[in-house]
């Protein structure tokens, strides 16, 4: 689809906005390679130089990653997520967990106050997927379902900014969860912060929701320190 020519911003900015929309809409999935330069030049009706300028801008923001000789991959679904990913690389697991503690407890409290019936159904489904994946030893699916549960709690908070900040942790936490599997004795089906959190959300018990999140993340902190 060629871009319009009337009353538009500089072409590279327009192309950047178009590519950003493709990423944010899910048309280009996270961690997947985007179409070839030739295909994009044809679809957008732009020159190679303009396209590369747009890709460079999104790579700088952290949304894309250009791999020489391999192509360009989606690394984050928003600028805030991309910036957070780069920033987290400079900090320890303990630092990230401490920040999560603040976000998780507030998300849990607000979810207990604001969650809808659809939220509760989605959370219950994700917990079922988490259990099935763990018991099937499909650890990639387990990590996706576990993180998906936490992200849906943040969404159920009703605070879109909190949700966006929380989503920015996604790729980092997913990778960290898979690394933790290599440590002896790791339990992938803790009830604290998961099943017990869902019960608290269903019962509209804000204090219980916060308490079970605290218990879960404090347990994680002890695990990292061991």
Q: Domain 11-76 class?
A: mainly alpha
Query: Which pLDDT does position 172 carry in this prediction?
Result: 63
What are the pLDDT digits (tens) for 198-214?
999 999 999 999 999 98
Provide DSSP, 76-111: -SSHHHHHHHHHHTTS-HHHHHHHHHHHHHHHHHHH
What are the pLDDT digits (tens) for 177-204?
656 655 666 666 788 889 999 999 999 9
Bridge partners, residue 64, by sequence: 74
**With contact defined as beta carbons under 8 Å apart, do 167 and 81 qualify?**
yes
How far apart (Å, rounded) are the C-alpha atoms in residues 5 and 1?
12
Query: Which pLDDT does position 183 carry in this prediction?
Result: 61
For the chain, give every domain's residue range. Answer: 11-76, 81-225
Pairing of strands 64-67, 71-74: antiparallel
Q: Which residues of 185-200 are buried (b: 16+ CB within 10 A; e: fewer)?
A: eeebebebbbbbbbeb
Query: Which pLDDT does position 39 carry in this prediction?
Result: 93
Query: Which pLDDT does position 192 carry in this prediction?
Result: 84
> What fold, for 81-225?
1.20.120
Low-confidence ranges of the chain (pLDDT < 70): 1-9, 80-93, 170-188, 220-226
pTM of the model: 0.65
């Amino acid at each position: 689809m060629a871009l319009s020519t009337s009353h538009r911003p500089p072409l590279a900015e327009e192309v950047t906005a178009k590519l950003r929309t493709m990423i944010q809409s899910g048309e280009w999935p996270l961690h997947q390679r985007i179409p070839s330069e030739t295909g994009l030049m044809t679809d957008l009706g732009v020159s190679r130089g303009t396209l590369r300028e747009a890709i460079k801008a999104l790579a700088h923001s952290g949304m894309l990653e250009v791999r020489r000789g391999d192509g360009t991959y989606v690394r984050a679904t928003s600028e805030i997520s991309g910036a957070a990913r780069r920033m987290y690389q400079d900090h320890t697991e303990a630092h990230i967990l401490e920040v999560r503690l603040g976000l998780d407890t507030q998300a849990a409290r607000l979810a207990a106050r604001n969650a809808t019936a659809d939220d509760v159904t989605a959370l219950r489904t994700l917990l079922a997927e988490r259990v099935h994946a763990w018991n099937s030893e499909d650890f990639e699916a387990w990590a996706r379902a576990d993180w998906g549960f936490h992200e849906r709690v943040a969404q159920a908070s009703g605070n879109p900014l909190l949700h966006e900040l929380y989503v920015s942790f996604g790729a980092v936490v997913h990778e960290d969860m898979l690394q933790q599997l290599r440590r002896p004795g790791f339990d992938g089906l803790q009830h604290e912060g998961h099943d017990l959190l869902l019960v608290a959300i269903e019962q509209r018990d804000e204090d219980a929701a916060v308490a079970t999140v605290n218990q879960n993340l404090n347990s994680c902190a002890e695990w990292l320190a061991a």
